[in-house]
């Protein structure tokens, strides 16, 4: 039934198209221009969404123009669009001889020079002026074959009709998704092949400048040129009187060597640059009613897998407008720390990224400390999603795209209220409609798999950003931890130990206080020549735990539980030689800062949430029920109680004896 309705609607649209074609086809070119321009101006006033799209695109291309000038160009563009559409229909009814009489050529010698190399010629064409004229051009008559690559229309009947009109003069047309074989044969036979290069390339192509911004652009002209030896010639068409056009052929682009991997991207950048110059001469003639700077598919942070970026020198890239990406941070401190490698991958995805992190206020100092983060927008806990969205707009302005690291529906609402339309995140909690790229989540396992190296929680974030175009290779670079801020030196006489004995999650993650105390005192006894200064850390709710532990320790000691913000905690952790801790957010924060840890695990699983880095010492006693992920043990806390203080001491000594080796 659905297929029947689809075919019926296809036929109805086709009949309407033929009706318009039969009417407009009888008009003179001057009538087409007048009626087309009037229709275009009507569309300017009636089609507000498209008018807004054109205005947005023009502001990207011409950021220095006033709103009045943008509006004037927008109106002129709609008039030109109507004119070009009407003329395109009229061209279908013209004979090849009549069209050739209405076209003059400039730079024809450039085209002849390209053909003289006897490998055919690729002409890079665009949606500028009445581009349907390209389909009927025969600059050398029937002596030189002409053709073009085209995109099939969804309406099969209209597509077949247009193809028949375009092929009436003997030109050949190749569907966009067909293989290279026929195109290669055509070019090697000395043909002139037109390729539209100003469309979105989908999930492949190059990131090259266009109006001062890195823009996904097809690299197909360069790829085909390199394969066949056919030079690429930039070509544009411009109005030259009523129903008349001038076709301008530029100087051929030198064919790149077979091994020059940059050549296709260089060609894309060259074509974009020449088109930009053409548009600046007469902005209203280009097709602004499409999202030229849109994000294609799920490639939010690149042009796609293996995409090439050109130019590559920093000086040229610094002159480009930034690609503004906002990342919504997870709320728990530990999760935010485990998301750091993913944020690094996003930053290196493309060199023009201006990366903003939106996070709870308590996490702002942690994100501020990351060199990959350009800006942090903090918000207070308790704000409504629309309030967070308004705050983002006020402080950050417009963003090209957003990445949601939390799974919550609320996080998606916050960025949508901020006006971020291109959102990527996991497809969870029925928020798929809010996302432009809804990524299926990795299967969640409760038991560790020894054969699975990617079961750690950090991979959850890396997988997400990898699916939207970030390069997550080599992983070792992303997981690399900084040097220890206070490295352990050989024969060190004073060691500062941090201890985090609490865990907001619950008692099942807490190593007994008296055992922490016993481990520290045993360490002091075994190394009497070293002064061990102990600082205890935790949240305000854990103050009694800190008091109890400090009461069991000898001097020097201090209870800092509940007395530090995350900013203060960052600074204090930097002074620690190592941290003894349960599975907590502070553990992950210390690891992110490069502070070695002795991490004690109970009900949770180190394979999933161990601190990142080989320097850390993880202690875990496996029991039958491990990992249970319970907040409170329903039995007897055996996983924690079977870890003797002596084992903790041994791991502390192993860190001390490593003398800061990473």
305 band by pLDDT with thresholds 50, 70 and 90: very low
What would be the CATH architecture of the domain defined by 322-479? Answer: 3-Layer(aba) Sandwich (3.40)
Cα 161 to Cα 150, 151, 319, 484, distances in angstroms: 14, 14, 46, 70
Give the number of residues written for the chain. Answer: 662
Which helix (H) or strand (E) covers residue 85, if one does? helix 67-92
Mean pLDDT of 453-468: 87
Whole-number pLDDT of residue 318: 81
- Count helices and strands in the chain by DSSP H and E runs: 25, 22
Which tokens hold the place of 395? 């402080």
- The SS3 of residue 532 is strand
Q: From CA 608, how far away is CA 454, in angstroms rounded?
A: 9
Estimate the share of the chain in helix, then strand, then coil, as percent rounded to the nearest 5. Answer: 45, 15, 40
Instruction: Pull the structure tokens for residue 295.
Output: 């994000």
pLDDT at 485 over 80: yes
Mapped onto helix, strand or coil, the DSSP state of residue 282 is coil
CB 598 within 8 A of CB 580: yes
Q: At which residue do the structure tokens 């400090």 appear?
A: 550
The C-alpha R_g of the chain, in whole angstroms, comes to 32
Give percent of the chain above pLDDT 70: 95
What SS3 state is found at 411? helix
**3-state SS assignment for residue 584:** coil
Average pLDDT over residues 106-131: 96
Residue 491: pLDDT band with limits 50, 70, 90: confident
* Coil, helix or strand at residue 309: strand
Q: Cα torsion at 62, 67, 70, 71 (round to 10°)?
A: 170
Task: Determine phi and psi for 607, rounding to 5 degrees.
Answer: -65, -25
Task: Return phi, psi of residue 64, to 5°.
Answer: -90, -10
Asked, as a colleague might, if the bond just before 311 is cis with ω within 30 of 0, I would say yes
Longest dimension (CA), the chain: 104
- Residue 137, pLDDT > 70, answer yes
How far is Cα of residue 172 from the mean position of the Cα atoms in its chain?
A: 37
The rounded distance, in Å, linking the Cα atoms of 581 and 597 is 7
β-sheet with 308-309: strand ranges across: 213-217, 206-210, 308-309
CA atoms 112, 117, 122, 124: torsion sign: negative
Pick the more confident residue, 301 or 585.
585
Question: Is 50 exceeded by the pLDDT of residue 195?
Answer: yes
Quote the CA–CA distance of 613 and 610 in Å, as a whole number.
Answer: 9
Please provide the distance, in angstroms rounded to a whole number, between the alpha carbons at the two ends of the chain.
Answer: 66
Fold classification of 494-657 (topology level) = Rossmann fold (3.40.50)
Residues 229 and 184: their CA atoms lie apart, in Å, by 10
Residue 528 backbone dihedrals phi, psi, to 5 degrees = -65, -20
Give the pLDDT mean for 423-433: 91
> In the prediction, which pLDDT does 206 show?
86
- CA-to-CA distance for 611 and 475, rounded, in angstroms? 16
Average pLDDT over the chain, rounded to whole? Answer: 91
Q: Which of 130, 146, 149 is nearest to 138 (CA)?
A: 146
Whether residue 434 has pLDDT greater than 50: yes
Q: Cα–chain-centroid distance for residue 126? A: 26
Strands 531-536 and 494-500: parallel
Nearest to 264 by CA among 303, 305, 217: 217
CB contact set of 189 (below 8 Å; sequence gap of 6+):
120, 145
Q: Which of 214, 215, 232 is nearest to 223 (CA)?
A: 232
532 vs 497: CA distance, rounded Å:
7
d(CA 397, CA 387) in angstroms, rounded, equals 15
The DSSP output letter for 449 is -
d(CA 222, CA 148): 15
pLDDT of residue 298: 57
pLDDT at 203: 57
CATH 3.40.50.2000 residue ranges of the chain are 322-479, 494-657
CB 107 within 8 A of CB 217: no
566, 630, 553: which is closest to 592 by C-alpha? Answer: 566
Q: Is the pLDDT of residue 544 over 60?
A: yes
Q: What is the pTM of this model?
A: 0.85
pLDDT tens, 10-29? 899 999 999 999 999 999 99
pLDDT above 60: residue 662: no
- Asked if 82 and 40 touch (Cβ cutoff 8 Å), the reply is yes
Decide if 354 contacts 323 (C-beta within 8 A).
Answer: yes
pLDDT for 446 equals 56
pLDDT value of residue 477: 85
Confidence of residue 205 (pLDDT cuts 50, 70, 90): confident
**Burial category of 232 from C-beta neighbours within 10 Å (exposed 0-12, middle 13-18, buried 19 and up):** buried
Per the CB < 8 A criterion, the answer to whether 356 and 325 are in contact is yes
Q: Are 103 and 244 in contact (CB under 8 A)?
A: yes
Task: Give dist(CA 535, CA 506) in Å, integer.
Answer: 22
Calculate mean pLDDT across residues 418-433: 91
Give the residue-averaged pLDDT of 411-430. Answer: 93
| DSSP summary character for residue 540 | G
Q: Which helix (H) or strand (E) holds 545?
A: helix 543-552
Confidence of residue 1 (pLDDT cuts 50, 70, 90): very low
Contact 60, 211 (CB under 8 A): yes
pLDDT band at 244 (very low <50, low <70, confident <90, very high): very high
Cα separation, 35 vs 16, in Å, equals 18
């Amino acid at each position: 039934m659905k297929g029947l309705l689809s075919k019926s609607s296809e036929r109805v649209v086709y009949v309407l198209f033929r009706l318009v074609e039969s009417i407009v086809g009888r008009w003179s070119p001057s009538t087409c221009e007048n009626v087309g321009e009037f229709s275009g101006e009507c569309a300017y006033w009636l089609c507000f969404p498209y008018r807004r799209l054109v205005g947005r695109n023009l502001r990207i291309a011409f950021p220095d123009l006033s709103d009045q000038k943008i509006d004037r160009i927008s109106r002129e563009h709609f008039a030109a669009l109507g004119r070009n559409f009407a003329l395109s229909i009229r061209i279908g009814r013209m004979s090849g001889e009549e069209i050739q009489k209405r076209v003059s050529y400039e730079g024809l010698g450039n085209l002849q020079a390209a053909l003289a190399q006897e490998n055919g010629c690729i002409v890079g064409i665009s949606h500028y002026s009445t581009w349907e004229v390209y389909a009927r051009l025969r600059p050398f008559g029937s002596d030189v074959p002409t053709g073009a690559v085209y995109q099939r229309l969804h309406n099969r009947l209209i597509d077949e009709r247009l193809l028949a009109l375009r092929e009436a003069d003997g030109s050949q047309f190749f569907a966009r998704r067909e293989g290279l074989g026929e195109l290669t044969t055509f070019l090697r036979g000395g043909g002139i092949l037109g390729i539209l290069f100003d469309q979105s390339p989908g999930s492949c192509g190059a990131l090259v400048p266009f109006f001062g911004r890195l823009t996904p652009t097809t690299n197909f002209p360069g790829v085909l040129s390199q394969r066949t030896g056919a030079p690429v010639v930039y070509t544009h068409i411009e109005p030259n009187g009523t129903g008349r056009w001038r076709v301008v052929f530029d100087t051929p682009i030198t064919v790149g060597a077979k091994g020059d991997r940059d050549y296709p991207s260089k060609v894309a950048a060259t074509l974009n640059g020449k088109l930009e110059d053409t548009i600046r001469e007469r902005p209203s003639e280009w097709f602004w009613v499409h999202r030229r700077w849109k994000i294609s598919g799920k490639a939010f942070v690149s042009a796609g897998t293996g995409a090439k970026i050109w130019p590559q020198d920093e000086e040229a890239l610094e002159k480009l407008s930034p690609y503004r990406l906002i990342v919504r941070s997870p709320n728990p401190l530990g999760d935010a720390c485990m998301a750091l490698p993913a944020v690094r991958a996003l930053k290196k995805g493309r060199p023009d990224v201006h990366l903003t992190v939106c996070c709870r206020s308590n996490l702002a100092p942690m994100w501020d400390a990351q060199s990959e983060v350009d800006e942090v927008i903090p918000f207070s806990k308790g704000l409504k999603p629309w309030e967070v969205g308004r705050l983002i707009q006020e402080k950050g302005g417009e963003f090209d795209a957003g990445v949601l690291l939390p799974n919550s529906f609320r996080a998606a609402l916050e960025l949508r209220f901020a006006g971020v339309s291109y959102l990527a995140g996991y497809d969870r909690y029925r928020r798929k409609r809010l996302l432009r790229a809804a990524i299926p989540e990795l299967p969640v396992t409760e038991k560790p798999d020894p054969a699975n190296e990617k079961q750690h929680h950090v991979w959850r974030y890396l997988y997400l950003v990898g699916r939207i175009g970030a390069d997550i290779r080599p992983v070792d670079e992303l997981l690399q931890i900084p040097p220890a801020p206070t490295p352990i030196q050989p024969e060190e006489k004073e060691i500062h130990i941090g201890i985090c004995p609490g865990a907001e999650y619950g008692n099942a993650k807490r190593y007994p206080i008296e055992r922490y105390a016993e481990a520290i005192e045993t360490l002091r006894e075994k190394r009497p020549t070293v002064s061990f200064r102990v600082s205890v850390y935790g949240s305000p709710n854990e103050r009694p735990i800190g008091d109890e532990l400090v009461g069991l320790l000898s001097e020097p000691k201090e209870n800092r539980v509940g007395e530090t913000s995350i900013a203060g905690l960052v600074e204090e952790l930097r002074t620690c030689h190592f941290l003894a801790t349960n599975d907590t957010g502070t553990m992950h924060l210390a690891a992110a800062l490069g502070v070695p840890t002795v991490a004690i695990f109970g009900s949770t699983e180190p394979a999933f949430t161990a601190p990142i880095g080989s320097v850390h010492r993880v202690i875990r006693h496996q029991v039958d029920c491990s990992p249970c992920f319970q907040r409170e043990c329903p039995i007897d806390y055996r996983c924690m109680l079977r870890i003797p203080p002596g084992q903790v001491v041994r791991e502390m000594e192993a860190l001390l004896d490593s003398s800061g080796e990473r």
